[in-house]
């Protein structure tokens, strides 16, 4: 999960990592020093020994998960709790690696499984997963190029095919993450939000207020409210990023979900974090990287592309609709689908995203 405020494109991956990444040299973004724009060349004397000490251990980890000796490792940026590297293996393969300095649990496993699950649809191209452990992920390196309108249109068609391949249910088929935040869930665990029963959600509380719960599960609106809005609303309110009045505005969105969600749709196979920085342009195609893969609503991926401005977005959307027309009113629902990723950004990066959260919530309500 990345946005302009925390410098995302370096992560993205498997291509020219670090290009255009304003946060790549931010020691707070990942591994100190690893993302310095000059780290691949003449580094300051104080940093060279530090990097040299890390490389042998990283090489051993990479050799273990790839099954191949490492010939070369070069820093390629940093993000969240990990650093990025361009790696050359002894057999000549180029690899993009993420490496944390501590065990991250299932974060990299979730990303690897998500890449493979999306690739199973044989729709949008994705980088090959080479290997992973609890602190390291290695995928194939892809050379980046500038997108053109033809690549954008092909990506739109590919994305429509990916979504059409479907998912068994809403939610992640494994314990999932978006950036470093847990995302694991299943639709059967989801509450259904009542739209005709008043009652506030208490920010920072545990289970949702009984006034918001009715029996039943399985529709997208209920799942989205219960598993994508409420948890991150509580987190943001609990840390003081959102005020009481902010929280009540988003509670109103949740309470009106039945009228805001649009026509029912079955679970779709979606990327889940499909902002423009997670689309890598290579070989005349748009490749998807760094997914929060899940069964979800196809409008979510399209709304994410619009959130931070995907190149040739009109071409992407036009080609998408040639393959899989969207339901009436989809444009008005874009803010609703953007509310979850904006809440995630607020949880990760604080009050700089507060106004964007409130604007999306207000626009979602106005559309209904």
Strands 70-79 and 285-288: unpaired
Sheet strands (E) in the chain: 70-79, 82-89, 94-100, 129-132, 136-140, 177-178, 181-182, 192-193, 213-214, 268-270, 279-282, 285-288, 294-296
- 327: phi then psi, degrees, rounded to nearest 5: -70, 150
Check residue 183 and report its DSSP letter. -
Q: 215: which 2 tokens?
A: 């029996």
Distance CA 336, CA 250 (A): 10
Report the DSSP beta bridge partners of residue 131: 138
Q: Are 127 and 11 in contact (CB under 8 A)?
A: no
- C-alpha distance across the termini of the chain, in Å: 28
Number of residues that this document lists for the chain: 368
- For 182-221, write each residue's pLDDT tens digit: 985 644 444 333 333 223 333 333 333 323 332 224 699 9
Query: What pLDDT sits at residue 55?
Result: 83
- pTM as predicted: 0.81
Sheet strands (E) in 133-187: 136-140, 177-178, 181-182
The residues, any chain, with a CB within 8 Å of residue 4's CB and separated by 6 or more, are 308
Query: What pLDDT sits at residue 185?
Result: 65
Distance CA 81, CA 29 (A): 7
* pLDDT string in tens for the chain (368-residue length): 655 544 333 333 333 343 333 222 232 223 323 332 222 333 334 444 455 556 889 999 999 999 999 999 999 988 888 999 999 999 999 999 999 999 999 999 999 999 999 999 999 999 999 999 999 999 999 999 999 999 999 999 999 999 999 999 999 989 999 999 998 564 444 433 333 322 333 333 333 332 333 222 469 999 999 999 999 999 999 999 999 999 999 999 999 999 999 999 999 999 999 999 999 999 999 999 999 999 999 999 999 999 999 999 999 999 999 999 999 999 999 999 999 999 999 999 999 999 999 999 999 999 98
CATH superfamily of 144-368: Aminoglycoside phosphotransferase (APH), C-terminal lobe (3.90.1200.10)
Q: How far is CA 212 from CA 2, 68, 250, 340, 368, in A?
A: 31, 54, 13, 19, 19
Distance CA 41, CA 349 (A): 30
Q: Are 36 and 25 in contact (CB under 8 A)?
A: yes
- Residue 184's CB: how many other CB atoms inside 10 A? 16
Q: Are 161 and 93 in contact (CB under 8 A)?
A: no
Distance CA 189, CA 71 (A): 47
Q: 361: which 2 tokens?
A: 């919530």
Burial of 95 (0-12, 13-18, 19+ CB in 10 A): buried
Check residue 191 and report its DSSP letter. P
Distance CA 247, CA 183 (A): 21
Query: What pLDDT sits at residue 268?
Result: 97
CATH 3.30.200.20 fits 4-140, yes or no: yes
Residue boundaries of the structural domains of the chain: 4-140, 144-368
Query: What pLDDT sits at residue 53?
Result: 58
* Residue whose pair of structure tokens reads 């609990």 in the numeric block: 238
Query: What pLDDT sits at residue 51?
Result: 53
């Amino acid at each position: 999960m990345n946005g302009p405020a925390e410098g995302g494109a370096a992560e993205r991956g498997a291509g020219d990592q670090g290009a255009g990444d304003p946060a790549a040299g931010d020691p707070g973004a990942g591994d100190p020093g690893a993302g310095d724009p000059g780290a691949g060349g003449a580094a300051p004397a104080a940093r060279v020994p530090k990097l040299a000490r890390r490389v042998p251990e990283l090489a051993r980890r990479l050799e273990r998960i790839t099954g191949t000796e490492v010939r070369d490792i070069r820093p390629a940026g940093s993000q969240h709790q990990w650093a990025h590297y361009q790696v050359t293996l002894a057999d000549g393969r180029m690899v993009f690696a993420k490496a944390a300095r501590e065990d991250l649990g299932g974060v990299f496993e979730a990303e690897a499984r998500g890449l493979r699950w999306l690739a199973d649809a044989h729709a949008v191209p994705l980088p090959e997963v080479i290997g992973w452990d609890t602190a390291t992920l290695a995928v194939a390196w892809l050379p980046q190029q500038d997108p053109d309108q033809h690549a954008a249109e092909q990506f739109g068609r590919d994305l429509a095919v990916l979504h059409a391949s479907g998912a068994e249910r809403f939610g992640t088929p494994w314990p999932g993450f978006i950036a470093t935040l847990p995302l694991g869930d299943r639709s059967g665990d989801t509450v259904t939000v009542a739209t005709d029963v008043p009652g506030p959600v208490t920010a920072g509380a545990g289970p949702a207020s009984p006034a918001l719960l009715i029996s039943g599960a399985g529709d997208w609106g209920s799942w989205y409210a219960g598993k994508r809005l409420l948890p991150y609303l509580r987190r943001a309110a609990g840390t003081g990023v959102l005020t009481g009045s902010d929280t009540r505005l988003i509670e109103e969105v949740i309470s009106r979900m039945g009228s805001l969600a649009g026509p029912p749709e079955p679970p779709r196979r979606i990327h889940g974090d499909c902002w423009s920085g997670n689309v890598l342009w290579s070989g005349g195609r748009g490749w998807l990287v760094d997914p929060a893969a899940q069964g979800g609503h196809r409008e979510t991926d399209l709304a994410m592309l619009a959130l931070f401005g995907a190149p040739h977005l009109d071409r992407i959307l036009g080609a998408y609709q040639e393959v899989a027309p969207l339901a009436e009113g989809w444009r008005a629902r874009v803010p609703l689908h953007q509310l979850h990723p904006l809440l995630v950004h607020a949880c990760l990066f604080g009050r700089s995203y507060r106004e964007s959260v409130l604007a999306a919530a207000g626009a979602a309500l106005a559309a209904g």
